[in-house]
Amino acid sequence: MTRKYFGTDGIRGRVGSDMITPEFIMKLGWAAGRVLSRQGHGTVLVGKDTRISGYMFESALEAGLSAAGIDINLLGPMPTPAIAYLTRTFHAQAGIVISASHNSYFDNGIKFFSGDGTKLEDEVELAIEAEIDKPMTTVDSSRLGKASRITDAAGRYIEFCKSTVPNRISLVGLRIVVDCAHGATYHIAPRVLEELGAEVISIGVEPNGLNINDKCGSTKPEALQASVVEISADVGIALDGDGDRLIMVDAEGNLVDGDQVLYIIAMSRLFDEQLDGSVVGTVMSNLGLEHALTKQGIGFRRSKVGDRHVMNMLRESGWSLGGEGSGHIICLDRTSTGDGIVAALQVLYAMVSSQKSLDQLLTGLELYPQKLVNVPLDTPFNHDESAMVKASMKDAEKQLGDSGRILLRASGTEPLLRVMVEGQDETLVNKLADSLADTVREASKH
């Protein structure tokens, strides 16, 4: 299925260029409304993160949806997973998120959720694309969509987040630093933690439209690490601009990435006899995670890179837990999509219920050294057809044995081939990654 507009996670780009213009977003809203109107006169929820262009695109979507005869409920700044949750609870036809996730303020994008709070099926996205290329029309004035604003959206979602851990669990006695990246969780995450009893120190909670993800949040956790150490906090929580990624920090200021978070939640679920089937990671998940889970009798499967692919494998297999090293953690036994706040609460539950610190919960997990080299390509290159690359990979795999692995993956957004090598011996890993990257450079020129 060839897509003209949608990527793996909606539509995203630089504001004012390509598709990220008011004109296109209005047309996108109209096209989505046209497809949804085939199911009858329904309602769509629209939320956004805190970047300045969100106001402009909110109005554009509202106009397009109304022209197609769809009612709109505006949520204002809300985390992406909150919009997925509220779409379900309001029995809306769809939810739309205006966000560029962890990108800088000058980017923006649009993501859709189905009425079930899951990402749209491929056929629905393709149907929307087909409508975009048609001339825009307006329904009769008597059928125009109406817009209203939901004023209690934040409170509803806060209560939902708290419900994902047992009522008996209290965070009293925990000092937590939470970094909201000046993004959509700025008025949500601190309140969730406070209402559960924690002492909360908040940073990244003063959005001005331009500072989202700026030297803060899950992609830039250095300020969080420093703050945790400075005030002797028990744990740090870093979210990204739209709240679907989570990175944590232990009491010593050490980063705890998505692979480590996934391990902690899996072990907690195993102890509580609540782990449904295997755990799903991606081809980029650390080999140490796979080995640690396997040692505990927990199955581990790998999907393609991207939380959409993790989600698909979970649903196809009937399992509930998966994620990526970048911090996308999916707990399908708690919610319908990746959710940074919900994932953080599962880790805090593990800490409280076991009376262990964050670093103690990582006992049994040893992440292997991993090196990633991006090789620019001047012309298209299929590494699978290169005898030179195949021979180099075979030799490298022989040297690694069972204690490492190699992955060559073409970038989906840039003319690059990503060469990844990981294993227990860091010196060997670095040597093999550099050697294999040199082979790819040489082979791509022939």
Q: Where are the beta strands (DSSP E) in 241-291?
A: 246-249, 255-256, 279-282
In whole angstroms, give the CA distance from residue 46 to residue 243.
16
How many H-runs (helices) and E-runs (strands) does the chain carry? Answer: 13, 18
For residue 423 the two structure tokens come to 């294993």
Neighbours of 297 (CB within 10 A): 8
Q: Which of 37, 53, 66, 101 is catalytic?
A: 101
CA distance 278 to 342: 20
- Where are any strands of DSSP class E within 212-320? 235-239, 246-249, 255-256, 279-282, 300-303
**Strand segments (E) across 347-403:** 370-376
Beta strands of 160-208 (E only): which ranges? 175-179, 199-203
DSSP secondary-structure letter at 142?
G
For residue 321, the cross-strand partners are: 279, 331
DSSP H or E segment with residue 215: none
Rounded to an integer, what distance in angstroms lies between the CA atom of residue 146 and that of residue 73?
Answer: 9
Whether 278 is a known active-site residue: answer: no
Residue 27 phi/psi, 5-degree rounding, is -65, -35
Tell me how far CA of residue 384 lies from CA of 91, 207, 376, 381, 394, in angstroms. Answer: 47, 46, 17, 9, 12
Give dist(CA 12, CA 418) in Å, integer: 22
Q: Which amino acid belongs to residue 282?
A: T
Question: Would you say 98 and 57 are in contact if contact means Cβ atoms under 8 Å apart?
Answer: yes
Q: How far is CA 416 from CA 5, 377, 383, 406, in A?
A: 21, 6, 12, 16
CA distances from 31 to 75, 96, 148, 337 (A): 21, 13, 20, 24
Q: Which residue has the tokens 């040893």?
A: 366
Token reading at 149: 């604003």
Q: Report residue 429 as tokens.
A: 């890993």
For residues 14, 18, 21, 27, the Cα torsion angle rounded to the nearest 10 degrees is: -140
What are the angstrom distances between the C-alpha of 227 and each of 174, 352, 360?
15, 22, 21
Active centre residues (catalytic):
101
